[in-house]
Chains A and B, each alone.
Chain A
């Protein structure tokens, strides 16, 4: 038991928390942006897979790491555009379309991957994002290792959270997005186009999901393999509810889940006599518990999952 508590003062645990949280932060922010505009995006799991593959492929083909992130964002945005066209102007079921996008994008990512890498070959690795060296800051004991020795995308994720929180709360565009999720008729009555706003939000949110997926291949595992997203997308969908559709709380939720995950990894080796599967389950169980505690007070965007048709009530 002493070992288990000792782990908490270990800087590498806290550094791992930020690392594990990064793809979740991108994913949850992306899902949140879509939902604030009124569209549930269950395509997230597939879009993250697509982003992971596209980022990896770009770098594998000789591209720059940042070009890889950009390509991942564009591929995510394209998948998001399909989801948006099906659910917004056509008003189809957001569940069905989202799950369809997940199946389609995952399969397409795997297919493109197989065009390059044949079965049986071991997955080729790329040169990933390296932890930044911020000079003296990185040398500060404990804090330096936790906060100032992360890879660039991690800082990008934190900055995106701040930007989205500010944007939604303080800018005219953010207000228009929130209003579209609450009552698209009100948006139309004020002379704006709720359909365009929804499409834009879904495309932008999906781009973020793509970047989140790319972190997995470009900073965590250095190579692509199918099923590598491993339900992170679904976790993000749950985290949006946990966060009560607020970016600040979403960031917190992603960090909390990442903490559970990082801690259980270390507990697996530190505590003996308990099957490791118990620890593997723990983050999910704790997430469900947290969700139950928090979600009852959640304020759902009123028009979430309600298609908007002009001139109809």
Chain B
């Protein structure tokens, strides 16, 4: 085994916060290394230093034994380092070939040699099993295809070391499995791969070796053959993480009732959620979950049918009236529909109930900030003050803000759409605990999720959503993963 990459004592500070502290890492030829850590552990920063997006405050990067000048992506590319960014660095309005070729030719050539470039791209795509259409506009491609383009970009520049930042965050499970197969093949062909992840199962399945980062420091390094997911989870979080357990509780009276609702995307949906109960809606995404969420947050009134909340008709209620009637929501896309990233934490915390925090048309800032401080304390928002701009928080902390905002009002009904999507273990446990606490306090909760584990852990009853229709409910004690799988596939007679 020959060493291709070495990071020695890398330290990087942003203001007073150390994103990386004295991190040392080695990578051999033909090896797949996973960089495991929670959100904010410093994984991305470390890889950005390696690629030259940032210059380290201390430490050295060596590629093939030669030191890399800091802060220059070009030098990293020339040394054979390729990076696949989490937010793809692609121009959507240009073609695949344009995106791949950029930067590979001298800028002062009078003409770009497209024939040779196309042949080379097709050859690489063939050799590594990454099919793409060179003339397709990137905007038309699926996320999986875009990721292939990103990998091909690196290969086109003769990358010997491939870095992937959370490569599966945007992929569906089968796509993710295929990606790891491809990466394995590349490693067998002599490339070296580093991928960043916070998902234990893919680290175990995809990597030869794993380095665990916590709080900017490397806390452990293991061969995947010699470790277990439980050990890695503990190393990653720094303590034992256990998701909270649902205890039995006798539900109360029906709180939210929908009868034969039809909208764009829902085809005759009826459901009942009782107070003190979590109803889980499981299903493959794109089967009407978004429409159900929009209906119950008051964004799209139904063509047909009725919705009542605590006996009162709320069928025609808009979002504001829904909130006044005692509903709260955790929207599916937290950045688009949950918070306004450019506004501060306290502004987002009171945004849904501005009337409660203003007098005569003026916002009572001090009260609002106190409210936000209490929320930060109670829901453990790390790295946040009431005046922090919200987009600077990690995904997990933004989600805690949204959950906290919904729950501080003691809602009668809570809509939780994909509440833990993209979160790390610690944040998932926190969100689960908050939902269960709200249930025990008497709220009626609708949990829309794709994760069967999540539905089984939280929900008292479950229904599957398929093509805009709901199956009959199944009680938690009668449900298991196999039965839910059949229900999600639409095979309702078999269960």
Contacts and interface: CB of A to CB of B under 8 A. Distances in A.
A and B held together in a complex? yes
Interface of A: 170-173, 175-176, 178-179, 182-183, 185-192, 299, 301-302, 310-311, 313
A170 B111 contact: yes
A182 B93 contact: yes
B93 A171 contact: no
Given A178-B94, A302-B93, A191 B87 contact: no
Given A187-B103, A190-B104, A299-B93, 10 more contacts: A170-B112, A172-B109, A176-B103, A179-B94, A182-B92, A185-B85, A187-B102, A192-B74, A192-B102, A311-B48
Contacts of A189: 73, 83, 85, 89
A58 B94 CA distance: 43
Nearest to B86: A313
Nearest to B112: A172
Interface in B65-79: 73-74, 76-78
A112 to B, nearest CB: 35
Contacts of A186: 89-91, 99, 102
Contact of B89 (A178, A185, A310, A311): A185
Contacts of A302: 91-93
Interface in B96-115: 98-99, 101-112
Contacts of B112: 170-172, 175
A171 B101 contact: no
A109 B341 CA distance: 44
A173 B99 contact: no
B145 to A, nearest CB: 16
A171 B109 contact: yes
12 contacts: A171-B110, A172-B101, A173-B108, A175-B102, A179-B98, A179-B102, A186-B99, A188-B73, A191-B74, A191-B76, A192-B102, A302-B92
A189 B104 CA distance: 12
B135 to A, nearest CB: 14
A183 B89 contact: yes
A170 B89 CA distance: 22
Interface string B252-294: 0000000000000000000000000000000000000000000
A176 B93 CA distance: 13
A251 to B, nearest CB: 21
B430 to A, nearest CB: 25
Q: What are the 9 closest A-B residue pairs judged by CB atoms, nearest first?
A: A190-B103, A182-B91, A191-B74, A189-B89, A186-B89, A172-B105, A183-B91, A191-B77, A173-B107
A190 B149 CA distance: 13
Nearest to B92: A302
B74 A172 contact: no
Contacts of B103: 176, 187, 190-192
Contacts of A172: 101-102, 105-109, 112
A239 B260 CA distance: 53
Chain B contact surface mostly:
loop
A311 B54 contact: yes
Chain A contact surface mostly:
helix
A188 B89 contact: yes
* Residue from A170, A173, A179, A313 with most neighbouring chain B CB atoms (10 Å): A179
A191 B78 CA distance: 9
A191 B73 contact: yes
Contacts of A175: 94, 98, 101-102, 112
Nearest to B93: A182
A313 B87 contact: yes
A171 to B, nearest CB: 6
A33 B484 CA distance: 57
B109 A183 contact: no
Contacts of B106: 172
A35 B98 CA distance: 19
B467 interface: no
B194 to A, nearest CB: 16
B483 interface: no
Interface string B324-365: 000000000000000000000000000000000000000000
Contact of B102 (A185, A190, A299, A310): A190
B62 interface: no
B153 interface: yes
Nearest to B88: A186
B105 to A, nearest CB: 4
B53 interface: yes
Contacts of A192: 74, 102-103, 107
Contacts of B94: 175, 178-179, 182
B115 to A, nearest CB: 12
A299 B93 CA distance: 8
* Residue from A185, A299, A310 with most neighbouring chain B CB atoms (10 Å): A185
A189 B73 CA distance: 7
Nearest to A200: B107
Contacts of B48: 311
A183 B99 CA distance: 10
A208 B130 CA distance: 44
A246 to B, nearest CB: 12
Contacts of B157: 190
Interface string B144-182: 000000000100010000000000000000000000000
Contacts of B73: 188-191
Contacts of B107: 172-173, 176, 192
A173 B109 CA distance: 8
Contacts of B77: 190-191
A189 B83 CA distance: 8
B109 A188 contact: no
A189 to B, nearest CB: 4
B326 to A, nearest CB: 37
Contacts of A191: 73-74, 76-78, 103
A8 B146 CA distance: 52
Nearest to B82: A189
Contact of B153 (A190, A310, A311): A190
* Residue from B73, B76, B101, B106 with most neighbouring chain A CB atoms (10 Å): B73
B275 to A, nearest CB: 42
Nearest to B108: A173
Contacts of A190: 73, 77, 89, 102-104, 153, 157
A173 B91 CA distance: 16
